[in-house]
């Protein structure tokens, strides 16, 4: 129940709505007691009137106040039920929105490392299930559980004042009934957890399959993926059958409540026949037994739903409680203008290995310095740390030792938002959203005018193909830009970065997956983008970095060579050897390094 109380506490801004629901619940709970009480008085009065021979007109006069109270209670009860139903539905919508926003905000603020270890589809499954379960249970408690509990307590108090032994029998039956419930539901919990685990894993895989349909179709994996989904769902069906068996056992014990009701009904008849209670009291007892029967039978369902909610909410709260490792300084420095000087001072960094305590060292006491406005290219074998350097400058991860400085300031002393506002990142895989060209470009600058969008597109050599679309900037480009070629996507990505206008630019394999013609167009756009900025180029094709002011060769986490293209070629070292391999002047076996 702690998680449900936590969910209610999280929704404190909706407490006025909760208060209104509580008032309506109180009205409903009290209102449910009126018809049985009025019925008792009516039946007793009828019995008395018949015995005394009172005529119809006189009898109706006696009954009228009771009938008026009865009708009034029904009207008030109907209005309170309608009010409760309407506001509970609105509360459900508001809570779903609220809990989703909290979860999504947490995910957006999480470290990149968190997403390295968690599949996006699985996270969304956990978030959606947690939100749905919490929202449903909070409103169920407000609309069904609390009214029935309050009504039951009032009914039991009234019955106790009439015949205490009836309440005693009820408790004698309810205690074992609840214990049986607890026993059954204890077996249910591990099955429910297993279902969630399988489902989350499957949703993660299903998300990957849908986002990789070209790969699925090119390898003719349709049948295998269908079989995989069928196998998983067969497991889920088998597990749900186990839950259904438990639920059948849970429902079969409801016969205890039925026998109790029948027994107390018989006992009430005996009381009437022995003149120990009036006929009106008999009707009162019967109506209260019927009133109590529903919440008693709901005990299994309510507890079952509460347990399911807590299991589902566990993953949701685990997301909310995940620790953020990369945090802003308590008193961050605000930079007025970033010139673009970048320094690595004795930097050591390791990626944590998932599921182990060990770590893979990528940078080892690295030192490097990049001047404002300088274009520096990074060369290393695969896994040598090129992309890691880009990640660390963006502070996607924190280093283990040393300092990374921007204009002489440790980036850990800056707000992450301000740091990244001053860095433009163009990746090999240009991620575009399933929106229009305009919306994707405005991701770089939401306030950009149409004139500025067109200017950026022209500078990135993208306007030529954009204007050929019937809707131009309003053209939908499909999921991840599927309707565009690789070169077109890359040029849109460059235009987007131009609109951001950052003083520092990082190009990570920005042309490695393009054909020669597209590469030439993108290269022209890149050098337009680099003009007047500090730029770091990470490239596989060394022919694309010859214009760089300096080229740094990284090996074993350290800079082992640096200089211009011509200077490094004269040194005849690692870079020269790699360049000669790519141009066909040397064979690969003569060199250890592969870019």
| pLDDT tens per residue across span 2-17 | 777 787 788 788 888 8
Q: Is 495 exposed, middle or buried (0-12, 13-18, 19+ CB in 10 A)?
A: buried
Q: Is 331 exposed, middle or buried (0-12, 13-18, 19+ CB in 10 A)?
A: exposed
Mean pLDDT, residues 508-534: 71
pLDDT confidence of residue 591: 43
Q: Which residue has the higher pLDDT, 590 or 496?
A: 496
| pLDDT tens per residue across span 444-483 | 888 889 898 888 888 888 888 888 888 888 888 776 666 7
Mean pLDDT, residues 41-59: 73
Task: Please name every residue paired with 427 in a beta bridge, in sequence order, or none if there are none.
Answer: 508
Specify the pTM.
Answer: 0.70
| pLDDT tens per residue across span 237-256 | 878 777 777 766 666 667 77
pLDDT at 358 over 60: no
Q: Indicate the range of 83-87, 136-140, 486-490 predicted with least confidence.
A: 136-140
Mean pLDDT, residues 555-581: 86
pLDDT confidence of residue 594: 43
Percent of the chain scored above 90 by pLDDT?
6
| pLDDT tens per residue across span 195-246 | 777 777 776 676 666 666 656 665 566 677 777 777 777 777 878 777 777 7
Sheet harboring 550-555: ordered strands across?
423-427, 504-508, 534-538, 375-379, 550-555, 558-563
pLDDT confidence of residue 590: 42
Give me the sign of the Cα torsion angle 377, 381, 385, 390: positive
pLDDT confidence of residue 482: 65
| pLDDT tens per residue across span 559-569 | 888 898 888 88
Mean pLDDT, residues 332-346: 89
pLDDT at 141 over 80: no
Domains and CATH numbers, the chain: 2-321 (1.20.1560.10), 342-590 (3.40.50.300)
Is residue 428 within 8 A of residue 537, CB to CB? The reply is: no
Q: Which residue has the higher pLDDT, 256 or 349?
A: 349
Task: Please name every residue paired with 333 in a beta bridge, in sequence order, or none if there are none.
Answer: 414
**β-pairing verdict for 375-379 and 359-370:** unpaired
Rounded distance between C-alpha atoms, residue 29 and residue 151, angstroms: 5
Q: Which residue has the higher pLDDT, 263 or 526?
A: 263
Mean pLDDT, residues 6-34: 81
């Amino acid at each position: 129940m702690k998680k449900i109380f936590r969910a209610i506490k999280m929704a404190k801004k909706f407490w006025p709505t909760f208060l209104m629901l509580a008032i309506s619940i109180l009205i409903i709970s009290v209102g449910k007691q009126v018809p049985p009480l009025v019925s008792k008085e009516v039946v007793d009065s009828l019995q008395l009137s018949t015995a005394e021979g009172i005529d119809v007109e006189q009898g109706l006069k006696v009954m009228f106040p009771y009938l008026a109270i009865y009708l009034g209670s029904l009207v008030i009860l109907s209005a309170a039920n309608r009010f409760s139903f309407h506001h509970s539905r609105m509360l459900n919508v508001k809570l779903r929105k609220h809990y989703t926003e909290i979860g999504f905000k947490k995910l957006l603020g999480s470290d990149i490392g968190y997403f390295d270890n968690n599949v996006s589809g699985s996270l969304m499954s956990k978030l959606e299930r947690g939100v749905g379960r919490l929202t449903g249970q909070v409103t169920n408690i407000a609309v069904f559980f609390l009214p029935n509990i309050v009504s039951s307590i009032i009914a039991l108090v009234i019955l106790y004042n009439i015949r205490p032994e009836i309440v005693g029998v009820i408790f004698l039956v309810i205690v074992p009934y609840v214990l049986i419930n607890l026993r059954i539901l204890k077996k249910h919990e591990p099955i429910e957890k297993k279902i969630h685990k399988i489902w989350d894993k499957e949703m993660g895989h299903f998300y990957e399959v849908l986002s990789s349909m070209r790969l699925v179709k090119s390898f003719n994996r349709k049948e295998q993926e269908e079989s995989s989904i069928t196998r998983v769902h067969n497991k889920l069906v088998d597990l749900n059958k186990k839950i259904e068996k438990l639920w059948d056992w849970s429902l079969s014990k409801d016969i205890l409540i039925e026998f109790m009701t029948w027994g107390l009904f018989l006992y009430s008849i005996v009381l009437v026949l022995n003149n120990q209670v009036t006929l009106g009291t008999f009707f009162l007892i019967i109506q209260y037994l019927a009133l109590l029967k529903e919440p008693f039978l709901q005990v299994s369902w309510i507890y079952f739903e509460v347990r399911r909610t807590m299991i589902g909410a566990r993953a949701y709260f685990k997301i909310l409680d995940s620790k953020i490792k990369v945090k802003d300084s308590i008193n961050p420095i605000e930079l007025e203008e970033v010139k673009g000087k970048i320094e690595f001072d004795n930097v050591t960094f390791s990626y944590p290995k998932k599921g182990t305590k060990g770590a893979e060292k990528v940078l080892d006491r690295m030192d490097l310095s990049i001047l404002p406005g300088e274009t520096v290219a990074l060369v290393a074998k695969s896994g040598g740390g090129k992309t890691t350097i880009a990640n660390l400058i963006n502070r996607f991860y924190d280093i283990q030792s040393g300092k990374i400085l921007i204009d002489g300031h440790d980036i850990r002393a800056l707000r992450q938002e301000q740091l990244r506002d001053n860095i433009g990142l163009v990746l090999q895989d240009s991620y575009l959203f399933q929106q229009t060209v305009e919306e994707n470009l405005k991701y770089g600058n939401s306030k950009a005018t149409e004139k500025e969008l067109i200017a950026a597109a022209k500078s990135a050599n993208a306007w030529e193909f954009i204007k050929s679309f019937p809707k131009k900037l309003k053209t939908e480009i499909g999921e991840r830009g599927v309707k565009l070629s690789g070169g077109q996507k890359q040029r849109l990505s460059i235009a987007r970065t131009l609109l951001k206008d950052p003083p520092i630019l990082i190009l990570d394999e920005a042309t490695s997956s393009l054909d020669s013609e597209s590469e030439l167009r993108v290269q022209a756009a890149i050098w337009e983008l680099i003009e007047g900025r500090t730029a770091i180029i990470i490239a596989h094709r060394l022919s694309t970095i010859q214009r760089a002011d300096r080229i740094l060769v990284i090996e074993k986490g350290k800079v082992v060579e640096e200089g211009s293209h011509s200077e490094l070629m004269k040194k005849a070292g690692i870079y020269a050897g790699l360049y000669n391999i790519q141009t066909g002047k040397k064979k690969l076996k003569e060199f250890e390094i592969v870019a």
